[in-house]
Structure formats: C-alpha cells, structure tokens
Structure 1
Amino acid sequence: MALDIYQQIDKDFGDRANEVHEVLNVLDAKTKGMISNRVIRAIVYLSKGDISTFHEKVKLAQVDWRDVLMQAEYSYPDGERERDFDKTFYELGLLKRKST
C-alpha cells in the first residue's frame, strides 16, 4: 500500500487507523492482492473517516470493486469523471504535505 494511503488513513481515522489497516490487510489477503491502490484510495475517500462507511465500502469492493470506483471517481447523475485515484491523495489535493 502506498505511503499517501497510510497517511490519509491516519489523518481520517485517528484512533481507529489500526483497525482500518488490519481490515485492508485482510482484504488484500482475501483478494490475493487484486485490490489496487486506486481502489483502496477510493474506499478511504468515500469513507471520510467514518468506520461504518469504511466497512460498507470494503464489502462492496469484494463484490465488485468497479462500483467503489464509480462512486468515488464519477459524478452522479451525469457520469463525468471528477477524480482519478490512480493519482495520490497529494496529487489530487486531498492531502497536504507537512511543511518543515
């Protein structure tokens, strides 16, 4: 899993971040690594720090990961692509780099 994903999870989920990491590790094992960073970013984005929503999106990804991408990347109802989660949270402007 990419570094920006870890950082976004820590930012969004705080004390529950370890639970999120564990669930994503199980998801990776169940799907034999077929869930990409793109899908994981979409799950984290859609969850907005809510652990219940996170679990719902993980279940949805196991059924059909394309549904997660549609919800996260495309507008409704016109279906225009608004985001590309192949890009990092930094590149999308969703996570700011800490200034030193």
Structure 2
Amino acid sequence: MYQDPNEFTDCSYDELFYTYYSGWVEDICAEYKFMQQYVLPLTDETIEDFQCIDRYNYKSTFSDGTVVEADLQNLKIVINGTEVKLSDFETKGATTD
C-alpha cells in the first residue's frame, strides 16, 4: 500500500513534497514534541515586551511573565532560565545538493 512515490517522480522538488511518510515522520514528531512542550503554553499569552539584543539574540516577555530568549547563532532558546537546544529536536532532515 505504501509505494515509494519517488520511484515514479523525477523533479527537483522531490525532497520537499512527497507523501511517503517514512521520509518525514521523525521530523514532524520532533517538531510536535517541541511545540507541545514549549509553544502551546504560550498560545493564549500576549507579548508584553520584545528586545533585539543584537543581530542573533532576542528576548520576549509574555503576559504571564514567561521570558523567552532566542540565540539564533547557537540555535538555542532559554525559557525562564531553562536552556533548550533546538538541535535536541532535530532529526536527519532533508538534504539538498
């Protein structure tokens, strides 16, 4: 039932758009866990303060007092003092040539 669609397609978008679930199920599970744990609790909150510390560092304070600091250079966020490395939620991902 799960035929690999890449066997009968040949285009440059194969890595971005495909239905064969084994190619993306690990990625989406990792993203879901991240969203459930860190983003969902803030969906009903508003951003009360936003600061651009420098080119790679940002700080947001939410209406419930949650402080989120994003370090784009090192791919990590700090939520109320707890460091979360985004690479912990990373899987193999798509590759492009």
* TM superposition score normalised by structure 2: 0.26
More helix by share: 1
- Asked which structure has the greater RCO (Cα within 8 Å, sep 6+), the reply is 1
More strand by share: 2
* TM superposition score normalised by structure 1: 0.26
